[in-house]
Structure 1
């Protein structure tokens, strides 16, 4: 049976999707201990290893998990934190320590020579493939029996995720000479209306609503002025231009800049995929994260649903921000399932 070790596993999006495809997860590795409870609550039989990959030794992992080298049925997955390579214009000082994680992951691939290798990251890794170490990694794979690695930027919306999110994906195998390509769905693309709203199990709530159940239909409160602003934002796709001409509501930073940052305070459209769900999807000032109709940000469960986590997925964390970070950083499970199914199909066909 195909089995996988998920490096940089976070709350388990990739692991869960692979598990749904029919692959056994042996372990998830992450330096963030706050992910442990969520990971173990959802990934059957897998061990959570709290470790900094830069300090983890190959032999140590081999011994801990009883792994074999040159195992045709082993999949090593590396979805490293990717903020440094993101096109989003943020301060890269904090994320710079994670920029070489692909090189660290390569250590384990070199040592174990697994049957399959999966890497998922932001498109910037491909655009800057020399700096990120990707070019060298691909050349190494080809030179060591992984004949036709698939590496491409995919939009997860093509795989049943109700979100527009472009991700770089590499899938390589030394088992066959075939390129492994995740299969896009032929159906209509998933949209917000398919998964959110009352008919999909999301009762109407107000800003500040707290849900103490595992469903976590929880949303942060809003200041009075932000409540007034949202009342002016048109339903179903409106943006901050709805209050731009009201001096008491307009933000000073946007005066004379109507064409800049229009997604801020923006609502989702019912009949389009959501924008990329980031770690700040619960904040109305960090992107187009306002509910299509209700005057509030997306709830924790709504963000998870737009990432294609099932409604029964259990999130454990100390705060809204902590759980939202796990959700926003996750590989959408439905996309991971498509990758897993493509690997299984290749393995079955030899």
Structure 2
């Protein structure tokens, strides 16, 4: 592979990141040499995070339903039919997620793909990238993905899409995702090539050897490192104390009448990951927006009696330790991290786009 040639092509590529959040996709693409023109999102709490980590890129805080394509063109100086322009659309995905949560609020953002489609019709960029939960693909007729793909093909794009596991792309998580790469200026023959061999492990990213000193539950880190952990009740700490390290789960205390949770009494087979510890020698589970909470998944530290910290979650998402997350509430910061596209996955997508453009 002629990496110098790839870098030359990459230097021409430029991207607009719709639904950018804290900037995982933008940052990863920038690491592949792609210029990030802007991120667009309605979230106020992501603005400082995005701007601090992506100097030179604009953060357009707008509800996409109230943003017109001509206005975006004026603000960014972009024009229709630019073969080197990339539009990324990683819209909020909670409505299509299999995680059993109340879908009432997320229903308002369930069909933002149709809004993204407006901008593609107007600008016809060289490339379109979509990353989302697998549910948007498995329920494509309900999610309007089928309609979206038909529109892309009518506009002259050829598409490659499918379900991938981020653990095959340098991310230490079992994170299943739908990925679409569409291009109208060259032929897309495949999605990025997955790694071969053993997936990365939790111990490759966190732990004392990776710069994470042991901390207790409820620790507040005011530095930019954000090794902050959620507080735990005395009972939850006792539960963790008897949960075996590196992969132990709540079955360890299911026969303890004081520690057992009423909802799981006699039903140990359901939601087995809840209150569990991560394993040192396996990929982490999907880092969600509630990864800081012991009761929302297998988010217990492999050996310390706490859930993983904000920085540990960000590191498992492949954000560099220098990446600054700004906000005042632990829930807001965790949401920024958990909602993000893992930057390493995005970097590989960027390299793949460059190779397609160069072919």
Name the TM-score, length of structure 2 as normaliser. Answer: 0.95
- Which of 89, 106, 125 is 1:78 aligned to? 89
User: Is 1:170 matched up with 2:183?
Assistant: no
Residue number in structure 1 paired with 2:259: 249
| Partner Cα separation in structure 2 for residue 101 and residue 166 of structure 1 | 21
Partner of 1:126: 137
Task: Name 1:264's counterpart in structure 2.
Answer: 274
Partner of 1:20: 31
Name 2:43's counterpart in structure 1: 32
Return the alpha-carbon distance in structure 2 between the equivalents of residues 335 and 39 of structure 1.
18
Q: Does 1:113 align with 2:124?
A: yes
Partner residue in 2 for 1:9: 20
The partner residue of 1:42 within 28, 45, 53 is 53
What is the rounded CA distance, in whole Å, between the counterparts of 1:282 and 1:176 in structure 2? 42
Verify the 8 A CA contact 2:160 2:188 in the aligned structure 1.
Answer: no
Shift, 1:50, TM fit: 0.3
Q: State the Cα deviation string for residues 156-189 of structure 1 (Å, max 9, x = none).
A: 0000100000000110101112334212123431
Flag structure 2 segments of 5+ consecutive residues without an equivalent.
1-11
Kindly tell me the number of residue pairs found equivalent between the two proteins. Answer: 348
Contact 1:172 1:180 in 2 (8 A): no
Q: CA offsets, 1:82-139, max 9 Å, x none?
A: 1111112222111111111000000000000000000111101111111211111111
Q: Which stretch has the larger CA shift, 252-261 or 77-86?
A: 252-261
Give the conservation status (yes or no) of the 8 Å contact 1:9–1:30: yes
- Following superposition of structure 1 onto structure 2, how do residues 1-350 of structure 1 map, counting pairs within 5 Å? 1-147=12-158, 149-349=159-359
Q: Does the CA contact (< 8 Å) of 1:21 and 1:340 recur in 2?
A: yes
Q: Deviations over 1:26-76 (max 9, x none)?
A: 000000011000001111310000000011111111111111110011000
After TM superposition, which residue ranges in structure 1, 4 or more long, deviate above 3 angstroms? none
Kept in 2, the 8 Å contact 1:281–1:298? The answer is yes
Q: 5+ unaligned residues in a row in structure 1: which ranges?
A: none
Q: Deviations over 1:208-241 (max 9, x none)?
A: 1121111101101211111111111111100111
C-alpha separation in 1, matches of 2:334 and 2:349: 24
State the TM-score, normalized to the length of structure 1: 0.98
1:176, 1:249 → 2: CA distance? 59
Cα distance in 1 for partners of 2:232, 2:285 equals: 22
Distance 2:303 2:157 in 1: 49
Deviation (angstroms), 1:262: 1.5
Q: Aligned partners of 2:313, 2:58: CA distance in 1, in Å?
A: 26
Partner Cα separation in structure 2 for residue 187 and residue 314 of structure 1: 32
Select between 86-95 and 267-276 the one with higher mean Cα deviation. 86-95
